[in-house]
Structure 1
Amino acid sequence: MISTTPAYQPPPSVPKLSLTNVHKAFGQKVVLDGVSIDIRPGESVVVIGGSGTGKSVLLKSILGLITPDSGSILIDGQETVGLRGRKRDTVLRKFGMLFQGAALFDSLPVWENVAFGLIQGEGMARGPARDKAVEKLAQVGLGPEVADLFPSELSGGMQKRVGLARAIADEPEIIFFDEPTTGLDPIMADVINDLIVKCVKELGATALSITHDMASARKIADRIAMLHKGRLIWTGPASQVFDSGNPYVDQFVHGRASGPITMAVRA
């Protein structure tokens, strides 16, 4: 008998993603030093910061690839730190991910890359999975003729589109974007930014991105947070990031060599 018990639905006031006082260190090196942030359902938040500031570790901690030393990471109000087995799998089904560099499987045709999670994770038959892959490719502006090509036959921009199609294939509730415009020329980067905004909006998904590309951050974010030395030192609307009043943020977004960040590095 099929269970009719409805899936858990969080109250509207509960953040989709909530981090509280998250810490992570590797030996003596402190990478995350008490990160706290709430992300509302349907909101797009971008975390900016220089190399080595902890952005990737933050993302991996949320995904469960790294276990924080302390702190809480809630998805829909449910604790995920330390989850294992089926409980962790249930959480992971809510996620989609666009990896830096697309991270496609070279040995698989495009449609199998897009449908990989559907086939391997959901057990979908190959025929319906291919149809779904073609549908998602269309959403990112790629025709059905691309489906049977291999990643090596695609340009960098097309590979990134395929990666985006894979990220939305299972219609996730939360999508993570890891440096989504890295390696792209400014025009193609803007195309990818537009597609990210379009796809996230169509799905009604919550989005969390990490990047150092300010053009991308401003375009895809509702809210921007800056991570520096493992701490979120500023959070505010994307429209205010170039007029934040925070000297660290101002130096970073304007790309200035001199300022408090340089001084901290010298120290």
Structure 2
Amino acid sequence: MSVPKIEMRDVTKAFGGNKVLDGVNLTIEPGESMAIIGQSGSGKSVSLKCILGLVQPDRGSILVDGEEVVGTRGAAMTRIRSKFGLLFQGSALFDSLPVWRNVTFGLTRGRNREPAKMRMIAQENLERVGLDARVLNLRPSELSGGMQKRVALARAIAPRPEIIFFDEPTTGLDPIRADVINDLIVSLVDDLGVTALTITHDMASARKIAHRVAMLYQGRIIWRGPRDRLYDSGNPYVDQFVQGRAVGPIS
């Protein structure tokens, strides 16, 4: 059996008296696309930050390719993070930089080096997300929300990461533009052969981009299964959440 790409074992995290994660167990296989759904405050973002090493759990283990993340720092953590790409919620582009420097930011760490080479890399990755050379010198503020999201996708894939994290990838987009982004994510994950973890409130997005879906509730994974079972889970908490009903076990 292959080593899981990401594995969370009994991960617990509290902030003061607020226990956000209460024994999270989750396994993501190489090449798999996993979506985590749940209410605001259920621990989705904290789970992501724990995997990235930005937040240290109070208890538990997080493994990336079998290597422990919890407690790892310095050069070892930098090496693990080099496997990661991230599409931030709201895109988080740098308004002071042109598009081509935004796309190659992870390769240059913000330094203006090898500009000719970086422009070529930026153009190649922008073409992957359906944008052409005309946007290279534009500022993010000159782009629509959908185009900004595409530039952010190009930035996420430019270093050719092994794992890409998508943080609410369709937030702020209308349904049509959201579906375009979902299609791009599916094609990029398939073409690049990466492992993907998405946190989202968007059920259409979860059903389209994920192979499996897991639901967080009160700091625990209460259900996991294939995307085709999302609306037929047999779990009353999942049923209420995905159907957006006010009445049910979730208060």
Report the TM-score when normalising by structure 2: 0.98
> What is the aligned partner in structure 2 of residue 224 from structure 1?
213
Listed one character per residue, the Cα deviations across residues 199-218 of structure 1 (whole Å, up to 9, x for unaligned) are 11111000000001000000
- Structure 1 residue runs of 5 or longer lacking an equivalent are 1-11, 263-267
Q: Distance in 2 between the 1:230 and 1:158 partners? A: 34
Q: Partner residue of 1:243?
A: 232
Q: State the 4+ residue runs in structure 1 displaced beyond 4 angstroms.
A: 121-124
Post-superposition Cα deviations, 1:92-133, rounded to whole Å, max 9, x if no partner, equal: 110000000000001000010000011118996222121111
**What is the aligned length?**
251
Match in the other structure for 1:165: 154
Q: CA RMSD, aligned part only? A: 1.3
For residues 120 and 101 of structure 1, the distance between their equivalents in structure 2, rounded to whole angstroms, comes to 20
Aligned-partner residue type, residue 186 of structure 2: V
2:39 to 27, 47, 50: 50
Following superposition, the deviation at residue 28 of structure 1 comes to 0.5
Provide the residue aligned with 2:193 in structure 1. 204
Q: State the SS of the aligned residue for 1:260.
A: coil
Q: Is structure 2 residue 168 aligned with structure 1 residue 179?
A: yes
Structure 1 CA distance for aligned equivalents of residues 73 and 192 of structure 2 = 28
Q: Structure 1 vs Structure 2: percent identity of aligned residues?
A: 66
The aligned residue for residue 82 of structure 2 is: 93
SS across alignment from 1:200: helix
TM-score by length of 1: 0.92
Report how far residue 49 of structure 1 moved: 0.4
Give the whole-Å Cα distance in 2 for the aligned partners of 1:49 and 1:109: 35
Unaligned runs of 5+ in 2: none
Q: Which amino acid aligns with 2:42?
A: T
> Where do 1:67-216 residues align within 5 Å?
67-120=56-109, 125-216=114-205
Q: Please give the alpha-carbon distance, in whole angstroms, between the structure 2 residues aligned to 1:54 and 1:254.
A: 20
Return the alpha-carbon distance in structure 2 between the equivalents of residues 73 and 130 of structure 1.
Answer: 36
TM-superposed CA distance for 1:13, in Å, is: 1.3
- Contact kept, 8 Å, 1:94 with 1:172, in 2: the verdict is yes
Asked if the contact 1:177–1:210 (Cα under 8 Å) also holds between the matched residues in 2, the reply is yes
